[in-house]
Chain A
Amino acid sequence: MAARAVSLNRKEEAGKLVLEAAGRWISSFAGQTEKLVTDAETRRAKSQAVAIDASHIEQLDTSGAWLLERMRRGFESGGAKAEIVGLDPRYKILLDEVQQTNTGKNAEEEHDHNAVENSLSYLGEMVTGFVRDTGEFVQFLGGVVVTFGRVLVRPWTFRLTSVVYHLDRVGFRSIPIIVLILFLIGGILAQQGIFHFRKFGAETFVVDMVGILVLREVGVLITSIMLAGRSGSAYTAELGSMKMREEVDALRVMGRDPMEILILPRMIALIIALPLLTFIGSMAALFGGMVTAWLYGGFTPEIFTERLRDAISWSTFWVGMIKAPFMGAVIGLVACVEGLRVQGSAESLGEHTTASVVKSIFLVIVLDGAFAIFFASIDW
């Protein structure tokens, strides 16, 4: 049934090739129709005159009209004289319209690179991208500092409401998830410590390990990574969609500095929130360690706190806390730069949100390494 929906019969009539097109030349059958047309074109006739008889076509749409026209052009380019005859007048306008299309050379640039060339150019793009990123981050940081300075001089331009709003979003609302995750991590650290230290009877040192590790490294790192994923991505997406809808430009033309209104409150909120969350998170991790040590290792909470007091000092605590605001600044910086880089499309928004999270986590870890070197050299 479907096979007979379209047909194209050829006849030779007095030195003239007649192709009888019949049936429903519509897009639903365009696949079959195209095969018929291609067949007809390949089996070229000797005859110089070709008539495409369209009088039996019951139904025609753009795809069908185009295939008729393509066939006609095929014969014409082969040197024959071809014409479409007998088409139902109601389809005349459509055919005329279609005959005016696909005339120019399609302006399609096909770059045919090989794999080596591709990977080299990719590498090159990455390197220039890295250099550009660094430049832009530094420039942006400068901008934030200048804006901050200006706000200090003119304190009434400071957007307290905005800072509080963002503080609530990135700080207060992150508490449950940060507490939960760090509680679990503290517990896991203690469990692993007890399990392995038990082999050589050094179980009690698990408290030292958990205390130092959590306060110096794990607390601030996990909190930063969580905030990069949770709040950094939100910043990028918000700023990105504002950029897409020209809201950032609207602020600028109203004489307001987007840096002051959008960026600074977000940065300040992150810089304040991260130390607070780090503190809360570290306490949760120590508590998790204590609970595990009690249930799994048999240390009572009294013994745990006693050992903890011996094991850690103020410097252990401060090493973690000092790092936190810097981590907040890095996350905010990357998130805002990426947000403002978003171009018109939704795809670009997704791309930059991903980049924001990946880059800020990477930079948080690099920064943590730098701090580790620094604190080791001042012997803290």
Chain B
Amino acid sequence: MANVETATDTPKMPLKQADTQPIIRVRDVWVSFGEHKVLKGLDLDVKRGEILGFVGASGGGKSVLMRTIIGLVKKDKGMIEVFGRDLDKLNEEELQAVERRWGVLFQQGALFSSLTVRQNIQFPLREYLNLSQRLMDEIAIAKLEMVGLPAFVAEKYPSQLSGGMIKRAALARALVLDPEIVFLDEPTSGLDPISAGEFDDLIRALQQTLGLTVFMATHDLDSLHNACDRIAALADGKVIATGPIGDMLKSDHPWLKAYFHGKRAAGRLNGKRN
């Protein structure tokens, strides 16, 4: 029980009284693969209760930063604080307690292919909590329906689902322990514009329902417009700008100009403005 206690000793901050204390604080993080330096002294704050869109060139280190925060990639130096705790200073048990408070949606969903969707969603419940099968079934179905999938999908295997369904089912798994932070790695990539739009709405709705903080690495300009409260732009291994979409559009930085006023963005913006 001691473990469970530590897992929840800071009560969840309700959305409305979101304080300004950042929930994730990244300071001077360096990551390299061999000789190639990907992140070069990156600083970033994520505030509680916001949806942060993280943009950057393909291969520029968006996923690397996400994977560094959640501990899948080793950093050369720097400091990462989540929930006000320095992840390097935690012992294994404390780290596990922190890990329980975040959920991750991988780019390809990463559902376990040998388990049904229901078993996939129940996996964290089964690993961390001691609940009756009935309650686990009900929670799994509830989560599944909250991410907009019908209940019968629960008995299917991941290989029987379409790309959009896999993303939703994976999101249900990421959310099953009611985490405080979710990391989304290109959640709308590979989805058609309608599904992508629905996914944005879903993330917004869930963020409001569950009081989530969302860290979203994305390329999707529509997601940035519709879902994100704030955007952080990554170029040359550093965060070059943060702020709401309006600030990004006004910025004079050449990379930001190219990104937000490029051919693909321009048509969309003109359409929006009219």
Contact = CB atoms under 8 A, between A and B. Distances in A.
Interface of A: 1-2, 24, 26-31, 34, 58-59, 61-63, 66-67, 70, 90, 93-94, 97-98, 100-102, 104, 106-109, 343-348
B129 A27 contact: yes
B159 to A, nearest CB: 3
Interface string B1-20: 10011011001101110000
Interface string B134-159: 01011101111110001110110111
Contacts of A98: 142, 146
Nearest to A33: B135
B7 A90 contact: no
Contacts of B145: 100-102
Contact of B114 (A2, A107, A345): A345
A342 to B, nearest CB: 11
B12 A59 contact: yes
Given A24-B8, A26-B8, A94-B210, A31 B130 contact: yes
A185 B113 CA distance: 41
B113 A344 contact: yes
A68 to B, nearest CB: 12
Interface residues of B, number: 44
Interface in B153-179: 154-155, 157-160, 175, 177-178
A33 to B, nearest CB: 9
Contact of B113 (A27, A94, A346): A346
Contact of B159 (A29, A66, A90, A343): A343
Nearest to A67: B135
11 contacts: A1-B5, A26-B8, A27-B139, A30-B135, A31-B130, A62-B175, A62-B210, A98-B142, A104-B150, A345-B157, A346-B113
A109 B210 CA distance: 32
5 closest A-B pairs (Cβ-Cβ)?
A344-B159, A345-B113, A61-B178, A107-B152, A101-B145
B146 A97 contact: yes
B138 A31 contact: no
B107 interface: no
Which residue of A27, A62, A102 has the most chain B CB atoms within 10 A of its CB atom? A27
Nearest to A37: B135
A27 B142 contact: no
A28 B8 contact: yes
A90 B208 CA distance: 9
A106 B7 contact: no
Given A101-B142, A101-B145, A106-B154, A28 B11 contact: no
Nearest to A95: B209
B138 A102 contact: yes
B97 to A, nearest CB: 10
B240 interface: no
A62 B131 contact: no
Contact of A27 (B137, B150, B160, B177): B177
Contacts of A108: 154-155
Contacts of A94: 209-210
A192 B251 CA distance: 85
B132 interface: yes
B125 interface: yes
A347 B4 contact: no
Contacts of A67: 135
A62 B142 contact: yes
Contacts of A109: 155
A198 B178 CA distance: 76
Contacts of A90: 14-16, 211
Contacts of A101: 141-142, 144-146
